[in-house]
Amino acid sequence: MLSVGLAYVEGGRVSRAFGGTATLCWAMILLAPLAAIPLVVEVHARTWGTIPWQAWTGFWYAGVVSMFLGSVAWYRGLAAGGIARIGQLNLAQPLLALLWSAVLLGERITWPFVVTAFVVIASMAVCIKSRVAVAASAAGTPPDTR
Residue 127 pLDDT more than 70? yes
Instruction: Burial-class residue 12 by CB neighbours within 10 Å (0-12, 13-18, 19+).
Output: buried
What are 65-76's pLDDT values in tens digits? 988 888 888 888
Residue 144 pLDDT more than 90? no
CA distance 144 to 146: 6
Count of C-beta atoms within a 10 Å radius of residue 18: 14
CA distance 138 to 136: 5
| Burial call 22-42: b when 16+ CB within 10 Å, e when fewer | ebbeebeeeeeeeeeeeeeee
Dihedral Cα 79, 84, 87, 89, nearest 10 deg? -110
Percent of the chain with pLDDT over 70: 87
pTM: 0.57
SS3 content of the chain, % helix, strand, coil (to 5): 85, 0, 15
CA 45 to chain centre: 30
Q: Where are the domains of the chain?
A: 1-81, 84-146
| Type of residue numbered 26 | W
Taking all residues of the chain, what is their mean pLDDT, rounded to a whole number? 81
What are 37-61's pLDDT values in tens digits? 999 999 899 888 898 999 999 999 9
Q: What is the pLDDT of residue 54?
A: 94
